[in-house]
Structure formats: structure tokens, C-alpha cells
Amino acid sequence: MADVERGFSVLAEWLPEVPRYYRPPYGRYRLMRKRWPLRPVLWDLMPPDYRLQREWARPTVQTLRPGDVVVLHERKVADWAEWETFLWGAAQKGLQAQALP
């Protein structure tokens, strides 16, 4: 909880708007739900990009549907070719990223 509160404080100082959403780690948010004004956002797809696993993009695109929330992890070391394959594949399906309301 302390890590999340610290992260919120840092983001609130740097962003033009105060954050309204958060993705609870591992989908666990019961403790935060009672104490926080932020709305939890869960996901539909979480490809294994966090493990630097190869060949995750094509199968993820195949299961991708309009409205799906997809978790992608930023890292110092990432397989950018896989990200490009995923984003290009989503665009070919006519999908595009949208901000939360």
C-alpha cells in the first residue's frame, strides 16, 4: 500500500491531471478499494512480455477483441519487435488504443 501511495504522489506532481485509475498488482485490490478514491482497472489480456518471452504478440492479437484492456509492461530491456507485431496486428484488425473515460 505504501508503494502505491508513493507512486500516486509522484504521478500527481508530474501529470497535468490527478490520476483516476490504477491497475492493482496481480488483480488484488480489496484493501485499496476501501481507502482510495482511485478506480481499479482490471484487464482482459496480459501477454507474457514481462518475461521477455518471444512470440507472444501473434497469439495475443488472435484473441484480441474490441474493448479488451491489455496490460503491456514497460521495461529497460524489451523486445520491441514483439511490441511492433502486436500493435501492427491490432491496427490491422481495425483496433486502436483509447484512453479511459
Same structural domain, 83 and 61? yes
pLDDT band at 88 (very low <50, low <70, confident <90, very high): very high
Same structural domain, 91 and 50? yes
Same structural domain, 35 and 73? no
Our count of domains for the chain comes to 2
Q: In degrees to the nearest 10, what's the CA dihedral of 1, 37, 40, 30?
A: 50
Give, in order, the Cα–Cα distances in Å from 91 to each of 2, 59, 61, 98, 101: 38, 15, 10, 12, 21
Same structural domain, 67 and 25? no
Give, in order, the Cα–Cα distances in Å from 70 to each of 36, 40, 98: 23, 14, 11
For residue range 60-85, list pLDDT tens digits in order. 999 999 999 998 887 777 678 888 99
Same structural domain, 69 and 37? no
Strand, helix or coil for residue 45: strand
Mapping DSSP onto H, E and C, the string for 24-50 reads: CHHHCCHHHHHHCCCEECCCCECCHHH
For residue range 13-61, list pLDDT tens digits in order. 888 888 888 888 787 766 666 666 788 888 999 988 877 778 899 999 9
Same structural domain, 23 and 69? no
Same structural domain, 48 and 91? yes
Note down the domain range covering 35.
1-42
Same structural domain, 38 and 74? no
Same structural domain, 82 and 33? no
pTM of the model: 0.72
Same structural domain, 56 and 100? yes
Residues 101, 87: Cα–Cα separation, whole Å: 21
